[in-house]
Amino acid sequence: MAIDTSVKLVNDMDHPWMPLRPGDLRGPCPGLNTLASHGYLPRNGIATPTQILNAVQDAFGMDPDRAQLLAYSTMLVDGNVITDLMSIGGKSCLTGPDPPKPATVAGLSTHAVFEGDASLTCQDFFFGDNHSFNPELFDQFVDFSNRFGDGFYNVTVAGELRFQRIQQGIATNPQFSLVTPRFTTVYGEAAFPLVFFVDGRKADGRLSMQDALGFFRDSRMPDDFHRTDESKSGGLVNTFIPQIFGAHPTQPGRNYGSVNTFTVDPNSAGLDADCSLYEHFVNDIVVPLYPNPQGVLKDNLNANLGFFFGPFKQGNCTRIFPYGQ
């Protein structure tokens, strides 16, 4: 049966928003937080990659390749591949017994494996809390939307605000880092609200401040919210990303221990989710966490590495087998 990708009501009777219960975990991704608070993901914030894949497509119309790349890259660095569970927030014993260190299995809030600096509504890790909604940063989000988007977050605002957050990091965070994969994800994440947080019946790339506050602060969809059309969402995101980048082209790099020491890193992958990004993620991020896996751990790492490779295969990348074939 063909998968239904159409615009449809997703804030429905079966998925009511509910406030957090003691112990429920939320993290740095407003998309996944919202899915958990509407019951598209387990409300406690502990999920399998399959649940995440299904939920982001069903409730937000995210294109399957992007969903697969996100779900399995994060599973490999932040999840427990033995129990197949990941926290969408901080570390939790609910993901089961940890594999041997240096693996961390510490959830999506873990800094510098996937989560990174220059988020639009969360502070940099250096300042303490890298995962909670930050009201001052949201004030800046509103201010930029008023100045550049007539009160809406649109692609022009995204270009200006994306650059502003990078400049703020360079000027205030001695540890500021914008290298692979963060250099790529910052642009995608600035585009996501334009596509996935805008009602699919409208799909005009203009997000109201009221709706933005609902998603970013309260993990809540607007009443009567309809998801966007999955067959169009991937193309839209791919159109917005170069526009956001093109407003103020930047290069990957980092500060070196003091502010305003930003130095370009020529070894970092560029804007596209290309083969060098794939290779870097496997060799320099996954393998150091799992230098010598054995048995089930090795088998499950290989399986997850295979799922992570899926979207890159279509880009004609060559698969890497760090643990043998």
Distance from C-alpha of 43 to C-alpha of 30, rounded to nearest angstrom = 14
Nearest 5 degrees, angle CA 184-CA 180-CA 319? Answer: 95
Q: How big is the chain by its Cα radius of gyration, in Å?
A: 19
| Among the listed residues 72, 73, 175, 179, the one whose alpha carbon sits nearest the alpha carbon of residue 125 | 175
Nearer to ligand HEM, 29 or 36 (CB): 29
| CA atoms of 267 and 250, how far apart (whole Å) | 15
Residue 196 interacting partner from Mg ion, ligand HEM, none (CB closer than 5 to 8 Å by kind): ligand HEM
Provide the minimum distance between the beta carbon of 276 and Mg ion in the complex, in angstroms, as a whole number: 22
Q: Which residues bind Mg ion (CB under 5 A)?
A: 115, 119, 122
Our CB check for ligand HEM shows the closer of 103 and 158 to be 158
Say which entry of Mg ion, ligand HEM, none residue 157 contacts (CB below 5 to 8 A, set by partner kind).
none
Binder of ligand HEM out of 42, 79, 99, 116 (CB under 6 A): 116
Determine whether 292 is exposed, middle or buried from the number of CB atoms within 10 Å of its CB (0-12, 13-18, 19+). exposed
As measured in angstroms, the least distance from the Cβ of 29 to ligand HEM is 3
CB atoms within 10 A of CB 316: 8
**Cβ distance to ligand HEM smaller for residue 80 or 121:** 121
- Residue 77: enclosing H or E segment and its boundaries? helix 64-78
Binding ligand HEM by CB under 6 A: which of 37, 38, 47, 60? 60
Q: Does 189 bind ligand HEM (CB under 6 A)?
A: yes
Nearest 5°: the CA angle 310, 284, 169 is: 100
Stretch that binds ligand HEM, among 59-67, 154-162, 218-226, 229-237 (CB under 6 A): 59-67
Three-class secondary structure of residue 290 per DSSP: coil
Q: Could you tell me which stretch among 16-24, 56-64, 148-156, 229-237 binds ligand HEM (CB under 6 A)?
A: 56-64
Task: Tell me if 164 sits within 8 A of 94, measured CB to CB.
Answer: no
Candidates 70-78, 222-230, 279-287, 313-321 — which segment interacts with ligand HEM by CB under 6 A?
70-78
Q: Could you say which of Mg ion, ligand HEM, none residue 114 binds, taking C-beta under 5 to 8 angstroms by partner kind?
A: ligand HEM
CA distance 265 to 277: 14
Q: Decide: is 74 part of the binding site for ligand HEM (CB under 6 A).
A: yes
**Which CB sits closer to ligand HEM, 132 or 298?**
132
User: Which option in Mg ion, ligand HEM, none does residue 194 bind, with CB closer than 5 to 8 A by kind?
Assistant: none
Q: What single-letter DSSP state applies at residue 197?
A: S
The smaller minimum CB distance to ligand HEM, of residues 73 and 300, is found at 73
Does 119 contact ligand HEM by CB under 6 A?
yes
> Taking CB under 6 A as the rule, which mask of x and - marks residues 122-141 in contact with ligand HEM?
x-------------------
Q: Identify which of residues 172 and 298 has a Cβ nearer to ligand HEM in the complex.
A: 172
- Indicate left, alpha or beta for 112 from its phi (over 0: left) and psi (-120 to 50: alpha): left
Q: How far is CA 258 from CA 165, 175, 205, in A?
A: 17, 7, 37
Centroid of chain to Cα 256: 25
Cβ contacts of residue 238 below 8 Å, gap of 6+? none
Footprint of ligand HEM (CB under 6 A): 28-32, 52, 56, 60, 62, 67, 70-71, 74, 108, 114-116, 119-122, 189, 192-193, 196
